[in-house]
Structure 1
């Protein structure tokens, strides 16, 4: 007899995968590189790092099972608490904890790690590559864990620009983007929040000098990711692209970021 504990419950927020909760575990379609990713996550848990799901099974039907992490995940339309300066700092600290732990864990260099949002130059540790709000679990008011490691790949331990959502949700080329009438980012602007990200992560002075150019590169990588999904006929990304003005919006975003690189640099280093 099936009980409520055994029944699957859909988990909302994902754009690229269907995720279901089954009791104390999550069931989802496994990525092609799941064996290598599961080995990494298992070894990561062995270091004492609790901010990532633990693999439980790879099933013959192509699905994987992972531990379900209790907590709150911010989904669009984002609640006010998810858009505060404090959240930027908390997520930056979580990323630093993850990178410090991941630096101690080997990964299979021969695995077919996804390149969609990866560091073009590769790197010494397995980076998450998609730490948007929908992929962070908050518990007791703190950023507790990262979820959805499908896009994890070798990279350099540097915090990416923390966005409002996945690359499929096109950003506005201005310092105070709206997320709907009831969801606006603080008016202090992106230089201030970029500084919070760097401070929370504990970024070195040398890496702070490189961060504005990293933001520009991340925008280009995200643009290519969205374009690829649209060309593959992905209905979710196609709909978002049409709704938010097409690829030209990414180009305006790029120009805006390049124009403001000196402003970002001053905010990070002075």
Structure 2
């Protein structure tokens, strides 16, 4: 990332005497659940969309070799290095501006649209309104999705594909959590039980499927693509 000029990530400082990778500290605020009011503002989700676009443009065509994860990767692959876990806990803010992405251990090549859908799923969020901890209620979903899509500069023609990718990515993410629970990983077991994820996961999939047209419409509301053009092979 440093070699291609992407500045909004921790700098790699080398290896310490114990053989551990060392990274520069990024000063700022990170939202953790229950998510604070500042993290729910339109300006914040717009910052996330713009940051993701900048990351994709920097990483387009980058070959990470074997240094990638298959866990949450786009099953179709693609030309862009996707982060795959741009959740609120992985974006650092200062004074309302997104200054860094964190935690790249799930990154893998894929379509930009795959990463866009995964990010929207966690930030809008694309789930049954009112059930995802402290996020906004039902009247906010479509507006927030539009805010995010416009900030990313999503091609208006990608609305339908976005809705399909969102459903696939949601299923994959749910299966990933189930595997962690089945393996007995404590944090995932605790999350599964505390938030009643068995029931919520089924409800979320049904909600996305039932609102496919509305999702496609909101995601396609970004307006004309900027003069720099859209990203190919979404």
Give the TM bin, normalised by the shorter chain.
0.7 to 0.9
Say which one has the larger Rg.
1
Q: Which structure shows the higher strand fraction?
A: 1
- 1:129 equivalenced with 2:80 (yes/no): no
Aligned-CA RMSD value: 2.2
- 1:55 equivalenced with 2:12 (yes/no): yes
- 1:144 equivalenced with 2:144 (yes/no): no
Q: Please state how far the C-alpha of 1:129 moved relative to its aligned partner.
A: 0.4
CA gap 1:65/1:250 in 2 versus in 1, 3 angstroms: same
Matched residues, number = 217
How is 1:1-270 mapped onto 2 (pairs within 5 angstroms)? 44-58=1-15, 61=18, 63-103=20-60, 105-108=62-65, 111=66, 113-158=68-113, 159-160=116-117, 161-164=119-122, 173-177=127-131, 179=133, 183-185=134-136, 187-269=138-220
Q: What 5-or-longer segments of structure 2 have no aligned partner? A: 222-234
Cα contact 1:173–1:256 (8 A) shared by 2: yes
Q: 3-state SS of the aligned residue for 1:99?
A: helix
Q: What 5-or-longer segments of structure 1 have no aligned partner? A: 1-43, 166-170
Q: Please state how far the C-alpha of 1:178 moved relative to its aligned partner.
A: 5.0
Cα contact 2:159–2:215 (8 A) shared by 1: no
TM-score by length of 2: 0.84
Q: Distance in 2 between matches of 1:146 and 1:173?
A: 23
Q: Distance in 2 between matches of 1:55 and 1:195?
A: 35
Q: Deviations over 1:128-158 (max 9, x none)?
A: 1000010001123211110000101111112
CA gap 1:248/1:184 in 2 versus in 1, 3 angstroms: closer
TM-score by length of 1: 0.73
Q: Distance in 1 between matches of 2:151 and 2:27?
A: 24
CA gap 1:209/1:95 in 2 versus in 1, 3 angstroms: same
CA gap 1:252/1:47 in 2 versus in 1, 3 angstroms: same
